[in-house]
């Protein structure tokens, strides 16, 4: 007899959709890496249309199963779904719809930091200051957060959502996206 029962990973409800979402995420990230390697220039029409194509497919998936949460498609595919919606900047209404869906989910179905990042993305795309300081622009060769509402308390809001400090986030931006001399 075993001292402790083995824990089984819960079955996901939509494994085929999980595979589809992760493949879309992989294509998204490959396209973005090609653009990054090419000084942010997208050269192919296929790459240029990828966000719109992924948004349409995500809309179909959400219409079919609701938000692709961890219990529906697994944690990895759920995070991938969030990333695809994060990149749907051409359709802020769709991003807002998705934010409403993920905000209604119980703890554990979606990461709080994903809610924070999508909130900021929508606000920036709508011409409003961000809440959590997750969106940046380049100014004079530096990574600078886009306008932040009530910046004095931003680190408190970030902590609640599982994010590190704004200062640490800025440092990480330089690691991930070094400025070219």
pLDDT in tens, 129-146: 999 999 999 899 899 999
pLDDT at position 92 is 97
**pLDDT grade, residue 102 (50/70/90)?**
very high
Q: Which residue has the higher pLDDT, 92 or 39?
A: 92
Query: Left if phi > 0, otherwise alpha if psi is -120 to 50, otherwise beta: which for 143?
Result: beta
- pLDDT above 90 covers what percent of the chain? 75
Longest dimension (CA), the chain: 66
Contact 92, 126 (CB under 8 A): yes
Element housing 3 (H / E): none
The pLDDT, as a whole number, for residue 44 is: 66
**The pLDDT of residue 167:** 95
Q: Token pair 């306008």 is at which residue?
A: 147
Mean pLDDT value across residues 94-108: 96
Q: What is the pLDDT of residues 20-51, one digit of tens each?
A: 999 999 999 999 888 888 766 677 677 679 99
Identify the pLDDT of residue 57: 98
Question: What does the angle CA 141 – CA 143 – CA 147 come to, to the nearest 5 degrees?
Answer: 125
Residue whose token pair is 């509402």: 149
Q: Which residue has the higher pLDDT, 177 or 40?
A: 177
* 7 has a pLDDT exceeding 80: no
What pTM did the predictor assign?
0.87
């Amino acid at each position: 007899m075993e001292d402790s029962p083995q824990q089984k990973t819960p079955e996901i409800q939509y494994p085929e959709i999980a595979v589809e979402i992760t493949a879309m995420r992989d294509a998204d990230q490959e396209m973005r890496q090609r653009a990054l390697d090419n000084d942010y220039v997208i050269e192919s029409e296929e790459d240029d249309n990828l966000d719109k194509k992924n948004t349409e497919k995500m809309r179909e998936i959400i219409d079919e199963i609701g938000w692709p949460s961890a219990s529906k498609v697994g944690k990895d595919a759920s995070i991938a779904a969030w990333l695809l919606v994060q990149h749907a900047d051409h359709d802020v209404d769709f991003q807002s719809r998705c934010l409403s869906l993920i905000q209604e989910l119980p703890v554990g179905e979606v990461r709080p930091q994903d809610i924070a990042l999508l909130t900021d993305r929508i606000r920036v795309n709508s011409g409003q200051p961000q809440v959590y300081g997750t969106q940046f622009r380049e100014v004079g060769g530096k990574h600078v957060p886009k306008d932040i509402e009530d910046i004095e308390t931003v680190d408190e809001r970030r902590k609640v959502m599982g994010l590190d400090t704004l200062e640490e986030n800025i440092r990480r931006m330089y690691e991930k996206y070094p400025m070219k001399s």
